[in-house]
Structure 1
């Protein structure tokens, strides 16, 4: 695997830290800028909206640019808005920086997915995807707690400066290590990419990605109250549980990358089934600390193992849309990341308790399995009952 992929992973780590770190900084931001806590919490929503809307849009705009130039441009914008966010005293300006930062993040990730797949080779897209998503999982395990600690020690602005400092080496690394020029000339026309996006296999994969990622963030968002209210552990255990989930996610991404290129169907079928059962088992056994701690680790691994495989499958499903496929995959997963917590919060608000998000997650994964099963059955029917030849995207 090219070393440049690891350098792209460093940039994704910095951007993932920026996306998630506000969870520990909202009270300080609200107090410093003189707004309410719910208003400060809207900064997270602003970033999510920017990711969903920006991924396909910015990827489409950037498709004519050399990939190295596009990556450097997105990183430059990302750095600039974080510097502005770190020095501003205006909440309105801070909101704008979060939206623009999300657009830059979405564009970078969409182009990085395609660049990584091209650098790794046509049969190693799963492994390339796992390297990039490893940056996201490390952001959950290391970056977010570190950002919260910096906020406690030196204020929320220190966390923004830290993201800038981590991103700077990535700029130099991309400029020196990411190839450009010849590979960019082979990019298909926009009309051809748009036609390729109509692939039923791609569209189904995006739906599955939204459902699985929705299940992941539905439960992940409410792990803290689950641990303290249902499991009965002290609040000091919450960072431990979050770290366990993140550690499991990192393992899942690594293992998913090893099998996504050759055994994607098996990963999705067996991993998806285990993921569905695991959410239900956690809901039933959440009152026992050992069960909670063990299954949180397992569910983190399964969630990101299946999720990373689906992203790789999206790239395989649309070879004619190398740039836009990555953008739409990013958008679909962020739709799930926004929808899942809302569904979990709705279930809690309806009085079903803090186990409810786990059951919602189980239902979402079960729905993804039903959709995949129906599509697979229809495909076999069209083939006249003959087995469909295996491929990396199968």
Structure 2
């Protein structure tokens, strides 16, 4: 059904919201106060036209913006965008009944995304390579991604297309993750399944042709022509194939700077959900660090980087599932500070143990404001004070937001 509506506000996922007799309607890529024509499908709608544009609207810089689901906010002027994103966090804290001032949004986009995941699909027997359309599995084919690092934005679609052509025989859906490292492109392919020896040999030839540093299938390394190194502080790390990495180099630097600044006086620090060590390797400039992460390969990569980097204080590693086996209160009490950087699900079990501990300082890093607020509320109920809350805009042009919270134990309250 085609109709005209007025947008009243913007939600946390960047959709505009219009009210109707049947309830809220969610419209992408609009702004408050705009009158727009939409094609409605239940509570969601497709934008047909902007009939009365907001003064906060600007022209998107990406030619794929209207069709692609990767970016959601390129139509917002910078000032409006910053205020909206900061309010996402402030509103989430209010809903959790947490009173804490939210600091100004920190831009951590830098040169752009250093990792892209492109999709290869065969819906009509022909091969389609690109990103997903909003709320759809339809592929929007792209030749370049302007929010990626300069060396990646044109090369990534070309690499994905070449790999798709090479593996198109079974016509299985593929997700191709391409990371720009110091030593070249690190590529991990998902969706293909086990490979025969002849197929692996042909992929080695393709990796040579594309000049890839490493090529893997579901984390299984097919060939490593050159270790794909990432600089973390003074250390050079080779993360496991397909493992977690902060989206931008600048984002990693900003988050690490906030973490190390908070922990500068701590003699011993526990870095929980440590990944391959972006915080641990920087914290070790001034503190002894115990790094804990579920993935054994990440712990091995961190340990290897630590041993190859002179001048760092001791880093110990432990492979442990912190969701099922969080560090217990007696273990935590050995540390002067604890850093948490969990996945989107948060660190509820670990926060409950920290709430009963004597740890003076907790630095919570999160990619989800809601789980950040939940975990912070647990810590505050246990006697911590939320001293600072910093929103970090690593995923620019999207509704995603990183949060850093610095919590210190209220000693008087703990004694009571």
- Shorter-chain TM-score: which interval? under 0.3
Which has the larger share of helix?
A: 1
Question: What's the TM-score, normalizing by structure 2?
Answer: 0.24
Return the structure number with greater strand share: 2
